[in-house]
Structure 1
Amino acid sequence: MSDLIRAARTRARLTGAQLAERLEVTTAAVSQMEQSERRGTIQLDTLRRALAALGQDIRLDTAPSSPYAPFAPSNVTDEINRALDEGRPELALRLLTHAASMIAENPDRFSAESLEWRPTEVGDHRWEQLFRAVMSDAIPAGRAKPNWATAKRLPRAWYPFGQYPSLKARAKTSTPAGLRALNIMVDERSLARA
């Protein structure tokens, strides 16, 4: 569902143990809160209490129901975090590229607000930069880019699928220029197939 606690904890540069101390609970309880939030089973008062310990408050809002809502940046972020937590980077890339293609092919189905609103980030900073680059490219020319959509260059080359020698070799020669400039090495074919 969401990843607000972990995102706020990360921004505050706190460990789970440090948040547990603030909440006067165990580290395991903080882990359980974060997991139940991702599953969408967390109690609202528990979420509020955890966020308050991080100096944050929760904002609830409604949005019109849409078949395109699962492809909005906020929802895709949460799904990518879930896939990465499960050790499924291939799924994370598939989710990202599919959402980007939905935005690029159906720009009129996404309001400026649905593209801008993104309360959490991808937990892995490298994947976050890949997310920003791919999603920014998907937003058609003439539409304002969200504040979060500027990717930062990684300090050294990163191969999301470096554990596969053939994909790493392919990425060295066929990574799109925009990603290569960011030191994100993903070959064109993997981006298209995902």
Structure 2
Amino acid sequence: MLSRQGSQMRRLARAKLDEIGNMLRALLPRLPHAPRGGWIAGTREALGMSRSDLARRLGVSPGSVTKLEMSERAGSIRIDTLRRAASAMDCELVILVVPRQPLQSMVDQRRLQRYGADIDRAATHMSLEDQSISETMRRHLLQQAEAAIPDSTLWRESPIG
């Protein structure tokens, strides 16, 4: 019972995140690329703020701001450092992890992949009869897979069991 509730809670969480993910995936192609010198330098320069001004606001040396901007361009900046720099320029830092496809689709695909032996057998029998797996059959197989493969084991590389 507890496991089933946990599974339902994860499904609900995926549905909520999928709503947001769908919106963000539609938005991603329209987002601008980072300014040539990086977001910190681009924002700082657009504000008319010198490196010395930003350094003073951060309580560091101007050379540290140069290193900070270089580490952002190199992709090695620490998130807390980026957050402090954004705050010093009265900006918000937004970091997003956007799934390439809906989370529920990813889970369903993985579950069906792990449950593949039974699906392959069903597909083989159906292809011999010149049939394809219908959406109803797919849902049925997915229900069986959900019963056999809990969410907690989906991403393990070892065989089920």
Q: Report the TM-score when normalising by structure 1.
A: 0.32
| Bigger relative contact order, structure 1 or 2 (CA pairs below 8 A, ≥6 apart) | 2
| Greater share of helix | 2
Give the TM-score taking structure 2 as reference length.
0.38
Structure having the higher Rg: 2
